Amino acid sequence: MLKYFTKILFVFIIPVFTFSQESTVANDSIKYEQKYGLRVGFDLFKIYSDGFEINADYRLSNKLYIASEIGLSEKTIDENYLNFTYKGTYIKTGIDYNMHTNWLDMQNMIFSGIRVGYSMFDQTINNYTIYDTNSQTWGQSIINIPISNTNLSSLWVELIIGIKAEILNNLFLGFNLEVKKMIDSGSKNNIQNLHIPGFNKTYEGSSFGVGFGYKISYLIPIIKK
């Protein structure tokens, strides 16, 4: 848990520094232009955690962006009574709304967004120990025959809040939090989908999930308004 807090702290602090580095010289006589275009990037936190994610957004209006993420995940997790591997791809699509009113020609964002997420993946329980509190007589039973659930698919929606700061011309660094609500987890063989690419960890008896993003993206300007 402590490891998680330091992770969170780390991603919180860096955008603060980057914000403070901005210095724009104001010039009254210029009419400030906002850039419209396609912004593409990838997620640093995702590389650190379990895979790779490419993200893109396109500015529709002053406040509104259409946004999408595509990613792949693969990881083996060792729990007390079981060891499992998840592997798959996901896509998320939705909109971002910029709540921040920019000064001058700055393009920073404090945004909230919504996404619809869909993942196709496999989950394999590699080995497991039969949970038996009376095992002192016969000994613990460890099963090494994997249980594979393949071609699984899950559908969810998520709410996002985050910031994106322009640290260099057209280069953005962003941090965001995600809260996810499962619509259909598509589990098989009465085995819970323990970790879903894009949705992340699932919780027993709850359809909610959480996520973090720490994203670098580059804006390809198409028009200026």
Looking at beta carbons only, is 20 or 80 nearer to another protein? Answer: 80
Sign of CA dihedral 14, 4, 179, 83: positive
Shortest CB 135 distance to another protein, Å: 7
Shortest CB 177 distance to another protein, Å: 6
Looking at beta carbons only, is 111 or 219 nearer to another protein? Answer: 111
Shortest CB 36 distance to another protein, Å: 23
Element (H, E) at 48: helix 44-49
Looking at beta carbons only, is 110 or 183 nearer to another protein? Answer: 110
Rounded distance between C-alpha atoms, residue 69 and residue 41, angstroms: 9
Looking at beta carbons only, is 24 or 135 nearer to another protein? Answer: 135
Residues in contact with another protein by CB under 8 A are: 1, 79-82, 99, 110, 112, 128-139, 141, 143, 159, 161, 177, 179, 189-192, 194, 203-206, 208-210
Rounded distance between C-alpha atoms, residue 90 and residue 57, angstroms: 17
Shortest CB 190 distance to another protein, Å: 6
Shortest CB 54 distance to another protein, Å: 25
Burial (CB count <10 Å: 0-12, 13-18, 19+), residue 46: buried
At 190, list the tokens. 């009465």
Looking at beta carbons only, is 119 or 219 nearer to another protein? Answer: 119
For residues 146-160, one letter each, b for 16 or more C-beta atoms within 10 angstroms of the residue's C-beta and e for the rest, the string is: ebebeebebebebeb
